[in-house]
Amino acid sequence: MAAVTEQTRTAHRPKPALVVWSSIVLFALLFALLTYQLNASQLPAPRPVLVRKVLKRRVVTTVVPTPGRNTVSSSGGSLAEASTPSYAPLTTGAS
Amino acid sequence: MAEQDVTFDAMGSHVRLLIGEPGPGMAPAAEAAERARAFVAEFDAALSRFKPESELCALNADERERVPASKLLRTAIAAGLHAAEISDGLVDPTLVGEIESAGYVASRAGMAGESLDVALRGAPPRRPAAPNPARNWERFAVNDDAGVVTRPPGVRFDTGGTGKGLAADLIAESLRGYSRFIVDCGGDIRIGGADALVHPYEVFVEHPLSGERAFVLKLGGGAVATSGLNVRIWREGDGGYAHHLLDPATGTPAWTGLIGATALGDTAVEAETLAKAALLSGPEDGRSVLADRGGMLVHDDGRVEGVGALAARPRIRIPQPSGTDG
């Protein structure tokens, strides 16, 4: 009985060459299908690259009233005091 | 921070230079200051309308329509035309006859002026100045390739309106590479150098009525300039008061309701032009003139008003780059 079963199994086992070739054919088919899909799909048109030169100028401006004198009319509250620089005062005025 | 600090008189005013450490391979600050002093002397000799031997006076007297001109004179005329253009003719460099008729024929450097306070009481009704419809400045052209200036003979040019600012800008160009520097040509001030961004200079704004240093600006770059009525006021023959800022539309001194204007700018020429244009525009339009760059207006009653970037307390202003939207 055991001998009969073994013979049956051997008879139903696929040949190695068939398995190999089937795998190759299946791979080729899938590869072809994917390649086709990739080519057939509508890729968006490449957008032109806009190159901009971005210039940012930073001007640091601080307004500080001379202690105990005026205030800027459009601002309220007390402002920081002027420091004591190492150089003699610079003044902008009519000339 | 050790800096070369040099002051001298020129262009009917004072010039002050503060120059920091030189960059690699650059001349010592003292040498740069000496070169700047020589340049200012050359500038003044070529461009003063009070010196008959100056190249500017020679141009104004020349009967040819097309006159050869040095690079310095061409640059000065181009700066004056630029000022007229950005102020739409309010800062008009062709009012030589008018300023002479008003009594400003010779330099008033060192002369004691009349009191602004008194002059204001006798001044005519206030009104904004306006451009001269003749727009004579548009008849000037500078051709750098040919090295000439063209204009109708007889139309005279005064580089004085932008002269100090231009001098400050040109000296500043020569100081590129120094750690930080400030060029003060009679209150038209240009600042530069990388260290100035870290250690800004303090610049006081003089009040035109009291003469006191009313405010201080901390500036890490760019320029600031002030235009005011307080330094050149004189009596006319009829007993009235005159000053040097003319209404181009009438050719007479402008009394607009403002006695001083301080403007910020990228260059000293720009700041000087904006300050003059704001003062001539009067309180309402003056705010618009200064709104973009920032500045301060001083009204007839002495009230000080901050505009634009200077309207609020300490802040960082980041101007939008022009010509791009990104």
Q: Is residue A1 part of a domain?
A: no
Asked whether the beta carbons of B182 and A90 are under 8 A apart, the reply is yes
- Confidence at B273, pLDDT banded by 50, 70, 90: very high
Residue in this structure with the two tokens 């006319």, named with its chain if needed: B236
For residue A24, the distance in angstroms to the closest alpha carbon of chain B comes to 55
Q: Mean pLDDT over residues B175-198, rounded?
A: 94
Q: What is the ipTM for the molecules in this complex? A: 0.70
Please give the Cα distance from B129 to B227 (Å, whole number).
15
- For residue B57, the domain's CATH number is 3.10.520.10
- pLDDT over threshold 80, residue B147: yes
Q: Return the structure tokens found at B306.
A: 């901050």
Domain-located, residue B204: yes
Q: How many CB atoms lie within 10 A of CB B62?
A: 16
- Whether residues B306 and A62 touch (CB distance < 8 A) is answered with no
The stretch B62-85 carries a mean pLDDT of: 96
Radius of gyration of chain A (CA): 43
CA torsion, points A16, A21, A22, A23, in degrees to nearest 10? Answer: 90
Residue A29 lies in a domain: yes
The tens digit of pLDDT for each residue in A41-60 reads: 766 666 667 677 666 666 55
Token pair, residue B15, equals 């010039």
Give the pLDDT mean for B153-170: 94
User: For residues B11 and B48, what is the distance between their CA atoms, to the nearest angstrom?
Assistant: 8
User: Could you give the C-alpha distances from B180 to B18, B22, B190, B194, in angstroms and in order?
Assistant: 8, 9, 11, 6
Q: What is the mean pLDDT of residues B244-248?
A: 91
Which 280-309 residues of chain B touch chain A by CB within 8 A? 294, 296, 303-307, 309
Tokens 């010779």, residue?
B106
Percent of chain B surpassing pLDDT 70: 93
User: Taking CB atoms and an 8 Å cutoff, what residues of chain B touch A65?
Assistant: 214-216
Question: A12 pLDDT exceeds 60?
Answer: yes
Whether B222 and chain A come into contact, CB under 8 Å, resolves to yes
Q: DSSP assignment of B22-77, as one string?
A: --TTPPPHHHHHHHHHHHHHHHHHHH-TT-TTSHHHHHHH---SEEE--HHHHHHH
Domain assignment present for B88: yes
**Least confident among A63-72, B104-113, B216-225:** A63-72
Q: How many domains does chain B have?
A: 1
The residues, any chain, with a CB within 8 Å of residue B101's CB and separated by 6 or more, are B251
Cβ atoms of B18 and B10 closer than 8 Å: no
Q: Name the percent of chain B lying above pLDDT 90.
A: 71
Q: What torsion do the CA atoms of B142, B39, B24, B21 make, to the nearest 10 degrees?
A: -120
In a domain, A55, yes or no: no
Tokens of B326: 């990104």
B173 and chain A in contact, CB less than 8 A: no
Does residue B216 belong to any structural domain of this protein? yes
**Residue A31 domain-assigned (yes or no):** yes
User: Residue A77: inside a domain, yes or no?
Assistant: no
| pLDDT bracket for residue B322 (50, 70, 90) | very low
Q: Which of B276, B233, B238 is nearest to B104 (CA)?
A: B233
Check residue B316 and give its pLDDT: 41
Residue A78: predicted pLDDT: 28
Least confident of A53-57, B109-113, B168-172, B306-310: A53-57
Domain total for chain A?
A: 1
Q: What distance in Å separates residue A45's CA from the closest CA in chain B?
A: 23
More confident residue, B191 or B241: B191
pLDDT at position B214: 79
Report the amino acid identity of residue B157.
F
The parent domain of residue B290 ranges over 4-310
- What pLDDT score does A45 carry? 64
Asked whether residue A27 is assigned to any structural domain, the reply reads yes
**pLDDT at position B100:** 86
Contact check, Cβ <8 Å, B214/A83: no
Give the pLDDT score at A79.
Answer: 33
Q: Indicate yes or no: CB of A74 within 8 angstroms of CB of B305.
A: yes
| Integer Cα distance of B234 and B206 in angstroms | 20
Do residues A71 and B225 touch, judged by C-beta distance below 8 A? no
Q: With respect to residue A65, please indicate whether it lies within any of the assigned structural domains.
A: no
Is the predicted pLDDT of residue B212 greater than 90, yes or no?
A: no
Is B315 part of any domain?
no
- Chains A, B: CB contacts within 8 A come to 170
Does a structural domain hold residue B171? yes
Of B187, B213, B313, the CB nearest to A63: B313
- The per-residue pLDDT for A6 is 61
Cα angle B230, B231, B232; round to 5: 105
| B93: amino acid identity, one letter | P
Domain containing residue A18: 14-39
Q: Is the pLDDT of residue A70 over 60?
A: no
**Chain A contact residues (CB < 8 Å to B):** 52-66, 69-70, 72-75, 77, 79-80, 82-83, 85-95
The burial of B312, by beta-carbon neighbours within 10 Å (0-12 exposed, 13-18 middle, 19 or more buried), is given as middle
- Report H helices in B175-267: 194-198
Beta pairing class for B181-185 and B188-192: antiparallel
Is residue A26, in this structure, part of any structural domain at all?
yes
Asked whether residue B197 is domain-assigned, the answer is yes
Residue B313 pLDDT greater than 60, yes or no: no
C-beta of residue B91 within 8 angstroms of C-beta of residue B281: no
Q: Is the dihedral of CA B174, A95, B72, B131 positive or negative?
A: positive
Residue B320 lies in a domain: no
Select the residue of B18, B187, B225 nearest A87 (Cβ to Cβ). B18
Question: Does residue B212 lie within any of the structural domains?
Answer: yes
For residue B321, give the DSSP letter: P
Give DSSP secondary structure letters for B127-166: ------TT-GGGG-EEETTTTEEE--TT----THHHHHHH
Do B306 and A74 lie within an 8 Å CB cutoff? yes
Average pLDDT over residues B293-301: 93
Say which amino acid occupies A13. Answer: R
Is pLDDT of B71 > 90?
yes
How are beta strands B13-19 and B201-206 bridged, if at all? unpaired
User: Which residue type is seen at A6?
Assistant: E
Give how far Cα A87 sits from Cα of A90, B6, B97, B182, B283, Å: 8, 11, 42, 11, 34
- The predicted pLDDT at position A4 comes to 55
- For chain B, the distance separating the N- and C-terminal CA atoms, rounded to the nearest angstrom, is 39
B208 contacts in A (CB within 8 Å)?
93-94
Task: Find the DSSP H helices in B184-296.
Answer: 194-198, 268-291
Average pLDDT over residues A57-86: 49
